[in-house]
């Protein structure tokens, strides 16, 4: 019982910290604390899109637009079953935008 309540306490603290991060929205309800949206547009982010982003399987919205990201658009984005909005515009990314169900509105514009 002590381990479970300790894990619950840790989870609650983590949720409170993450929910205060700029551009990060977490879920509530059945699976509280899972990252459901990232609004990271215009933050001058540089480099490639990390494969660790693939661990955020509950993402519904991902906006990385207007940064300085480069390299290939990750294939793992196709496996995000809940992702409905994807904005990668105004970066220097290459390759196809994931083409599946909810992503039919996604755009890839080099800027």
Distance CA(38)–CA(47), nearest Å, equals 17
The stretches in the chain having pLDDT less than 70 are 1-20, 100-111
pLDDT at 111: 44
Burial classification of residue 35, based on how many CB atoms lie within 10 Å of its CB (0-12 exposed, 13-18 middle, 19 or more buried): buried
Could you please state the CATH topology (level 3) that the domain comprising 2-103 is classified under.
Answer: 3.80.10
pLDDT at 40: 93
pLDDT at 9: 43
Kindly calculate the radius of gyration of the chain based on its CA atoms and give it in whole angstroms.
16
């Amino acid at each position: 019982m002590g381990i479970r309540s300790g894990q619950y306490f840790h989870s609650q603290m983590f949720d409170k910290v993450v929910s205060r991060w700029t551009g990060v929205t977490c879920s509530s309800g059945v699976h509280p604390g899972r990252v459901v949206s990232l609004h990271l547009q215009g933050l001058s982010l540089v480099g490639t899109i990390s494969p660790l982003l693939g661990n955020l399987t509950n993402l519904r919205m991902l906006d990385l637009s207007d940064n300085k990201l480069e390299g290939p658009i990750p294939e793992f984005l196709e496996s995000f079953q809940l992702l409905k909005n994807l904005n990668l515009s105004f970066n220097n990314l290459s390759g196809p935008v994931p083409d599946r169900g909810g992503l039919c509105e996604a755009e890839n514009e080099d800027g």
